[in-house]
Structure formats: C-alpha cells, structure tokens
Structure 1
Amino acid sequence: MKTSITNIKFFVLKGPQEKRPHWVSNFIVPNANELMVRLKTNEGVEGFGLATSYTDISPIVHVIQSGIPERILGSNPLEPERLYQSLFDLTASRLAHEKGWSREALIRISAAVDIACWDIIGKVSGLPLYQLFGGFRNKVPCYVTCAYYRESKDLVELKDEIQMLVEQGHQGFKGKVGGLSLAEDLERMELVREIIGPERDLMIDVNRAWDLKTAIDGARLLEPLKPVWLEEPVRWMDDRRELKLLAERTSIPL
C-alpha cells in the first residue's frame, strides 16, 4: 500500500512581546512566531515540522485557510523532494497571485512540511536522520546567535551576555553587525572575540545592511578577528555581483 498523507494540521505558536525588542542591522524583531505542521499518514505515522517567522504571521495563516492543505493531502511523505518542489513552484504561479499567497508564506510552509516528511521517514525506517543522510558523523557543531541590538544596550550589557553564553558551554558565536557605524560594530565584535577567546568560533552576520564599499572596509577591519564567515554582507539588490567583488577583496569566507 502506498504511503500517503491523510491528515494535516497547522499550529501557530507565538512568543510574548519583548519589553525591549531586539533588532538586527535593518529591522526590529518584535517576537518570534513558530508555524508547526503535523502530518499524519494512512498508516498512522505522524511527522512534525517547524518554520519560524519574525514578521506578521497572518499571510501564512491566509495561505493555510485558502487551499494549501488540499495540495498536500494525498502526497507521499516518503518522496519529500517531490512534495517540496510542488509547493515551492507555487511561488511563481498564477494560482498564488490569484489567491494572494505571498512568496515568504509559501516558502515557510514548504520548509515546515519538508521537515515533517523527514520526521515521518525517520520513524518509518526506524533510523535517526543523521544515518539516513549518510552516517558520516553522529554529531554536528552548533552555534549561538548573539550580540543583537537593543535600546540603550551598551558594551557592559554585551559583555555580560557573552560571558553568560560562554559559561553555558557554547563553542560557536554568531554576532550581529550592520546597525551601527563600522567603528562601533568593530568595537563590539572585538569585545566578543576577547571574551570567547581564540579557541572558539566567531561568525559575523550583517543581515544585508552594507553597500559594497562599506562591506569591503568592514571585512578588512574584521579580518584580524579571524571570523569563520561573514554572513549576508551586502544588500540584496545586487548581491550576486557584489559578493563576487567582495570575495576578491577579503580572506573571510562569505
């Protein structure tokens, strides 16, 4: 009997509103919304998937309430790439335009459904996903994202934050830059590197805030900190061309 999705349910999980909202270089993160998807097969196997949205979640709810479940029911969760592609293709479809389905909402729903499918595959096979993916290693490195901006947050508060994370045992740290001047952000990242020491990994995330000149200057200033990578260093409008140009002018992996 062919495995198929016979039931789907969506849940929206909302975090509390922060008293001091944090932000990245170019937008405030008011709170985190999680979209949880539960898929159930005709054999009674359930799979769960999550997708995070830091913006208004109502566009995702609109897609859910206006026809997307019907395009998932009956699909084979053991063929996750096929299902993911069929949902992702909707981002460039006339149907999405007619129904008012936003690209971001469709991508997040596609991701949550894909994760739920892999959850089902793991349960059906009786294997953890790392073995299904090849089993080359049984653990992967992780990092904590830190150094977000907040109203009136100073270097003392940043120092306390990073020291707390070090005490928790984190070995990788990704700090946020791009919201202040290069000099101010450099001072912040120098402090992070000083506290975590040379043996822990430091990654730096610009969230697409810099133009090319600023990115070249910023990368040059950050190179002595030996970051593992510099994430989203240039603005989205011309990032393919500018990433190539920046890569030619810095030793930091992008």
Structure 2
Amino acid sequence: MIKDIRSYKLCYEGISDERDALAIKGLAEHPMEIVVTEIETSDGYLGYGESLAYGCSDAVQATLEKILKPLLLGEDEELIGHLWEKMYKATLRFGRRGIVIAGISGVDIALWDLMGKKTKKPIYKLLGGSKKRVKAYITGGYYSDKKDIDKLREEEAYYVKNGFKGIKVKIGAKSMEEDLERLKAIREVVGEDVRIAVDANNVYSYEEALEMGRKLEALNIWFFEEPIQTDYLDLSAKLALELRIPIAGYETAFTRWEFYEIMRKGAVDIVQTDAMWTGGISEMMKIGNLAKVMGYPLIPHYSAGGISLIANLHVASALGLEWIEMHLRKNDLRDKIFNKKIPIEDGHLVVPDSPGLGFTIRDEVFEKYTCK
C-alpha cells in the first residue's frame, strides 16, 4: 500500500554558459532542474522517479502534491497500469501533456523502481528485456562564447577518444553557412566512421529546414533532429518525404496518442521519447512497441538527471534498442545523485542488474541540491 509520496525540487548551479538554438533565439536555456518523486510503501520500500522540470519545478511539485498524491495514497503500488490510468483520467480537464504528464512520469518511474525492489529484479527484466549494454551517442557541440572552432573540435575528439561512435551537434543558432563549417570541422577530426547527427531544437521554419536539410545531406549527416516546431506534423511529414536525411523527433511530444499521430503521418523517420516527460516507463514502453508495430526505430532522448537516464536505459534494454542519447556536460544531478557511477564501457551504457532502477540515492542529495 502507498503510505506517502514526497517530492523534491533539485537544481544544479554549475551549468556552463553553453546554449542551444532555442535559447539564443530569445527563449531562456532551461536550468538543470528536476523534480524527484519518492514513494514510500506501508512495508517500508522506497521508490524514486524523475519529472521534467525545465524552469517549472514549482508547478510540477504542486501537481504531485495537490493532485496526484491524494489519488494514490492507500492504493496498491503494484497496480502500475491501473494507477497510470487513474491519474490520466482524473486530470482530463487540464492534463494530457506538459506539467501534468511530467508529474505522472515521475510517479510511474518510482512505481517501477518499487516493483523491482519488491521482486528483487531489475526493471528491464520485469519488462521482458535481456540486453546488457546499449550504444550511447553523445550530445554536445553546444554554442558558447568561450568555444571557438578549435575548442569544438577538441570537445568532439574527446568523445570519440572515449569510445563513442555517435555524436550530436547543436545547430540553428548561427547562419547555415557557419553551422556547416562547424560540422565540416568536426568531421575532419572524428573521421568517417563516427556518426554525426544534428539537433535544431525546433527553431527552423519549414523552408529553412528544407534548405538546411539538403545541405546536411551532402555531409552524410546521420539524422536531423526536431527541425521545426512539434505542432507542424504535416510539414514535418513533407520534410521527411523531401529529404534523404532521416528526420528524428519529437521528444517534445507526450503520450502514445501524440506519438501515434507523429508516426501515422510519417512526420519522422526516427522516433525519440523520454520517460521523464512522456508518461514514465509504462508509457514509453507503449510508444516503443507502437513504433515497432509501425516500423520506426526508436532512440531514447536524454537531457536531465540520472534517474531518467537509467529509466530510459531499462526501456532501451527491454525494447532491444541499438542507441540511447547521453550527455557528458558537467551535471551533478546525473553524476552525483547515486551512490555509484553510471558505468560506461567502450561507448555503451551498461544496464544495471540490481533491483529496481539498480541505483541508490545519496543521502545528502535532497539537501545539497534543493532549489533555492
């Protein structure tokens, strides 16, 4: 039985001045900010989940405390699917995406962590998975006043030196010509055997994305992520038809219903989603299986704390996925939230075999990183 639910707003202040295109075009770069959900059962188990909270942690926490918690207290924590539907239906008038689904995501991940701990099995095995390692590509190449072309080349060479065979670079904040020069410089230093993807963070118009996509094709770019706003699915489908380069996205969509429309319309060639904001592990599994049915590859998105990264990794194992996204930007909410490091072997994330998520939270985390 669920005895209590607690939530914690965590912020990391050590983020550098690195920015993506969305930040430079007038919208603030999100802080490294998450909401962690802690669920306690009557028999003494604790489960942990993570919610998307890019500058909106107050609202996410309020949703957890005032709306979701009263729905869940006294319920059987093992009825994960039932509890997901209860939360989703109860928030009909104001949910469906955004902050409410972020709150549900954190609860769902925590419930799966609990289930694993109670059964003494890692989540990926509960989900039917067997894959022990998943290839990681590293997202970097952010814009910074301190990062010239030489610094950019050094950064990307570092990723490759550490065994990663895929990298992703931010585009869209500079002119197309400048971004293409950045990509050419990176290709020179990483070689032809490393996959290079790009991420425009939704800033292009359709016409700009079409023009840039054609230029990217000449550079043998792996995929073109979120070229336009997620709302314009028909235009994204036109891009996918017009361009040879695969269109990837849209991590900024929520739940299986939005992703069904994305796939039905052919708006992408590669599906990207994230357990911390699409509805948790339960919903990410549904989206992943839907992608399998409809013939789309899925690559999990990642951009926040360690809990969501590991949740995505369990799903990647369960679905037998080839790739997962990873960052190496300085981030204590990824690197210092657990009592042990997230293992990386030869460019692969190692799927944990301990119960639940497979990691325990450091005792001092909630005090040390509480948002001011």
Normalised-by-shorter TM-score class: 0.7 to 0.9
In 2: Cα distance, 1:204 partner to 1:88 partner = 34
Q: Conserved in 2, the CA contact under 8 Å of 1:30 and 1:54?
A: yes
Matched, 1:243 2:243: no
Cα offset, 1:147, TM superposition: 0.9
Name the structure 2 match of 1:207.
201
2:3 to 3, 6, 10: 6
Name the structure 2 match of 1:230.
224
State the one-letter code of the partner of 2:213.
Answer: A
Matched position secondary structure for 1:234 = coil
Name the structure 2 match of 1:37.
37
1:87-114 per-residue CA deviation (whole Å, 9 max, x = no partner) reads: 3445541xx4xxxx89522122111111
Alignment of 1:152-231 (within 5 A): 152-231=146-225
Q: Return closer, same or farther for 1:40/1:146 CA change in 2, 3 Å cut-off.
A: same
Name the structure 2 match of 1:84.
84
**With CA pairs under 8 Å and 6+ residues apart, which has the higher RCO, 1 or 2?**
2
Name the structure 2 match of 1:121.
115
Cα offset, 1:233, TM superposition: 1.0
- Segments of structure 2 that go 5 or more residues without pairing to the other structure are 248-372
Q: Conserved in 2, the CA contact under 8 Å of 1:39 and 1:48?
A: yes
Q: Conserved in 1, the CA contact under 8 Å of 2:53 and 2:60?
A: no
Q: Conserved in 1, the CA contact under 8 Å of 2:166 and 2:195?
A: yes
State the one-letter code of the partner of 2:8.
Answer: F
In 1: Cα distance, 2:80 partner to 2:219 partner = 40
Q: Conserved in 2, the CA contact under 8 Å of 1:14 and 1:33?
A: yes
1:52-72 per-residue CA deviation (whole Å, 9 max, x = no partner) reads: 423242222332443431122
Name the structure 2 match of 1:50.
50
Q: Which has the larger radius of gyration?
A: 1
Name the structure 1 match of 2:275.
none
Cα offset, 1:152, TM superposition: 4.8
In 1: Cα distance, 2:96 partner to 2:63 partner = 8
Q: Conserved in 1, the CA contact under 8 Å of 2:88 and 2:96?
A: no
Task: Point out the more displaced range, 155-164 or 65-74.
Answer: 65-74
Q: Conserved in 2, the CA contact under 8 Å of 1:59 and 1:102?
A: no
Q: Return closer, same or farther for 1:133/1:202 CA change in 2, 3 Å cut-off.
A: farther
- Segments of structure 1 that go 5 or more residues without pairing to the other structure are none
In 2: Cα distance, 1:53 partner to 1:73 partner = 23
What TM-score results when the alignment is normalised by the length of structure 2?
Answer: 0.60
Cα offset, 1:50, TM superposition: 1.5
2:21 to 17, 25, 28: 25
Cα offset, 1:14, TM superposition: 0.7
In 2: Cα distance, 1:75 partner to 1:25 partner = 44
Identity among equivalent positions (%) equals: 27
In 2: Cα distance, 1:195 partner to 1:222 partner = 18
Matched position secondary structure for 2:222 = coil
Q: Conserved in 1, the CA contact under 8 Å of 2:8 and 2:61?
A: no
In 1: Cα distance, 2:167 partner to 2:57 partner = 28
State the one-letter code of the partner of 1:111.
Answer: S
Cα offset, 1:22, TM superposition: 2.4
What TM-score results when the alignment is normalised by the length of structure 1?
Answer: 0.85
In 2: Cα distance, 1:171 partner to 1:127 partner = 31
In 2: Cα distance, 1:85 partner to 1:230 partner = 34
Q: Return closer, same or farther for 1:147/1:88 CA change in 2, 3 Å cut-off.
A: farther
Matched, 1:253 2:249: no
State the one-letter code of the partner of 2:21.
Answer: S
1:166-215 per-residue CA deviation (whole Å, 9 max, x = no partner) reads: 23333321211111111111122222333222222322111111111111
Aligned residues: CA RMSD: 2.3
Q: Conserved in 2, the CA contact under 8 Å of 1:49 and 1:113?
A: yes
Q: Conserved in 2, the CA contact under 8 Å of 1:37 and 1:48?
A: yes
State the one-letter code of the partner of 1:241.
Answer: D
